[in-house]
Structure 1
């Protein structure tokens, strides 16, 4: 487990859980859930599940769900919610990018989801390798991210640092006044081609690419930023 990665999310667990509730109404998360269907009675793995917001919605849709995250503090919130209202979810505290993953040795999953988690993971190649190994042949991987081409706007940080370039990849911490979470935990910027080529290299074929528009409540304070693509949602299918 990456100490830096665990620490930066453990430190914001309460802020994260209170800011992103179970009321899923943002277009990117809704699109991810729609592309994951059908999931009833299927085995679903939710990567970088955090406090279990999307994990619980997957379970409510009658999937058999396992959530995995590197942050013990966020998983504590998720497990408490499961104790209060059991949905049959299994939570695993693990670093997805570690070489030894005994929890992946069970039967393969039908669907793997990752909602706004890939940019939080430092080793993308290892994460997608684990994703591909977790899926059965013909299974689907659905992910949502801040659009790699999003340049930001007034008080809103883009996908790469102000004054930097789209092609310069790496981890950085946002400073935009309205980018509250990424000011605290940072993010990894990668080009669109890096994401898609990594998926392809691990046998995940792009099936659907969507760019949902942000809601009016978001754009009201960010008119200049909303002129650009903000979110990206992709569904891939495992070959074989």
Structure 2
């Protein structure tokens, strides 16, 4: 199923469930890794309904958000029309984001930073997505991303990063079945090993500069103590060489 359709079908559910509050541990750390944003040009890949895009803009960045889901992009534009913060949203496949949008006349990337918040596992073509990140970044630019930890095995009612009847090393798209994994039951996800992510980044000149495994929020962990024993989130910062 094309991932445009996956999210078009759940756009209302997704926007209602993930508000503009960015005080969850993974989002806080993601924004921290970017450093000061005032005056910087930032691309938000798989921006969805614009939650992180708006957080970036409120911190002074000039933001472009791109997403494959027309339904989510429309929600992002609706928020921009209601409360303008200067974000430009583009309905496009991030793996084919055009050079005219992403590079200057000399072919060099025009963005100081690229962000992808929990979107890489939604993109079927990881190689294409990372190539776009590398192409759009200026030399020395930063790529920061957050993902469900590839090594997270799940817990009672919480699906992990790979199917419960499969192996960690078995990569591919799958749909969660955990009763508490409300989004992934509907849209699925691509499981990839940690080494696949890191090696793909390096292949495209994105060198891992810092990584973190923030613990989940206390209220989440309190009701999922078995799952909270394991690393749940992974946040990484890479530098474009």
Normalised TM-score (structure 1): 0.96
Following superposition of structure 1 onto structure 2, how do residues 227-238 of structure 1 map, counting pairs within 5 Å? 227-238=229-240
* Aligned-partner SS, 2:223: coil
One of 21, 28, 31 as aligned partner of 1:30:
28
Label 1:220 to 1:20 Cα distance change in 2 as closer, same or farther (>3 A).
same
* Aligned-partner SS, 2:236: strand
**Residue 100 of structure 1: CA displacement?**
5.1
- Name the residue aligned to 1:45: 43
- Where structure 2 has 5 or more consecutive residues not aligned to the other structure, the ranges are none
CA distance in 2, matches of 1:186, 1:238: 30
Aligned residues between the structures: 237
Label 1:36 to 1:172 Cα distance change in 2 as closer, same or farther (>3 A).
same
User: RMSD over aligned Cα, in angstroms?
Assistant: 1.1
- Name the residue aligned to 1:61: 59
Following superposition of structure 1 onto structure 2, how do residues 1-240 of structure 1 map, counting pairs within 5 Å? 4-98=2-96, 101-106=99-104, 108-239=110-241
* Aligned-partner SS, 1:220: helix
CA distance in 2, matches of 1:179, 1:73: 22
CA distance in 1, matches of 2:211, 2:155: 24
CA distance in 2, matches of 1:114, 1:94: 15
- Where structure 1 has 5 or more consecutive residues not aligned to the other structure, the ranges are none
Cα shift readout 1:56-94 (whole Å, capped 9, x = no counterpart): 010000100000000000011100000001000000000
**Residue 12 of structure 1: CA displacement?**
0.4
Contact persistence 2:103–2:135 (CA under 8 A): no
**Residue 104 of structure 1: CA displacement?**
2.1
Cα shift readout 1:84-133 (whole Å, capped 9, x = no counterpart): 01000000000011385542234610000000000000000010000000
Normalised TM-score (structure 2): 0.96
**Residue 5 of structure 1: CA displacement?**
1.0
**Residue 41 of structure 1: CA displacement?**
0.4
Label 1:133 to 1:43 Cα distance change in 2 as closer, same or farther (>3 A).
same
Contact persistence 2:96–2:132 (CA under 8 A): no
* Aligned-partner SS, 1:143: strand
